[in-house]
Copies of this chain bind each other. A is one copy, B any other.
């Protein structure tokens, strides 16, 4: 069942996402006992124009 959603700034390569997917799926299997085929991971790139902290867009920092 596990559904994992990972939001990061753009710039990560397909290879980095593939590696992350592998490591997170293995961790959920090892630690939480969910079989790998039941774990779904969705990546979303969030532009620095669409992300703010301390009331400021990341692209303004």
- Is A42's CB under 8 angstroms from B8's CB? no
Interface residues of A in 12-57 (CB under 8 A from B): 12, 14, 16-28, 31-32, 34, 36-37, 39-46, 49-57
CA distance A49 to B29 in the complex (A): 20
Copy count, this protein chain: 6
Question: Which B-chain residue is minimally distant from A27 (CB atoms)?
Answer: B23
- Is B18's CB under 8 angstroms from A8's CB? no
- Is A59's CB under 8 angstroms from B9's CB? no
Contacts of A40 on B, CB cut-off 8 Å? Answer: 3, 40, 51-53
Evaluate whether A16 and B37 lie within 8 angstroms (CB atoms) in the complex, with A5-B4, A6-B4, A51-B42 already known.
Answer: no
Contacts of A39 on B, CB cut-off 8 Å? Answer: 53-55
